[in-house]
Amino acid sequence: MLKIFSTQLNGIFSKIQQDNEFAFEDAARLLAQTVLSNGTVYFTGKDEMEAVCAEGIHGQEAFSNAKRLNASEVSGLTSVDTVIASARFHCDQQTLALLQEIKQNTDANLIFLASQIEKEEETIPYCDAFIDLKVKKGLVPAENGERVGIPSAMAGLFAYHALFLTAKEILEEYED
């Protein structure tokens, strides 16, 4: 099972990278602008996607100006701030309601990390950049036919590191 999981997980990471190339660039530019403007990178996550928040705020490669988004702070967001929201699926109503509130009441930039279940939707509303995490079901078939091993948080962490590294590269080019 572990070999199958590992192989499938590598496939997910490759799909995230390939299918979100332009979204990573757009999101990293927003993050670089936030850093250069002395804005704040806010994080919010639902359920297991809190891992992205923890990495972005407390990890070895966290943004120095990062913090968790509290509901009371939404009205104070400005155009130099960026919010990175993460959820298991793109249709999570609680996360979409938060994104809508932020977009309607502030000028903050919004980056959303989640798996898009239905491809019918071309864009995710309220977002400046959407990273599709490509995890729709378990990666490993069990003996009973069920699929297990749903690495939503791992995909979110991969996407976070891709964003961080791309933003860092942009910031280094700016310094030259």
Q: What is the mean pLDDT of residues 74-99?
A: 95
CB atoms within 10 A of CB 31: 26
* Global confidence as pTM: 0.94
Say which DSSP state 87 is in.
E
CB atoms within 10 A of CB 92: 19
**Angle, alpha carbons 157-49-160 (nearest 5°):** 25
pLDDT tens, residue by residue, 11-30: 999 999 999 999 999 999 99
pLDDT tens, residue by residue, 153-171: 999 999 999 999 999 999 9
Where is 67: in which H helix or E strand?
strand 66-68
pLDDT tens, residue by residue, 133-153: 999 999 998 888 899 999 999
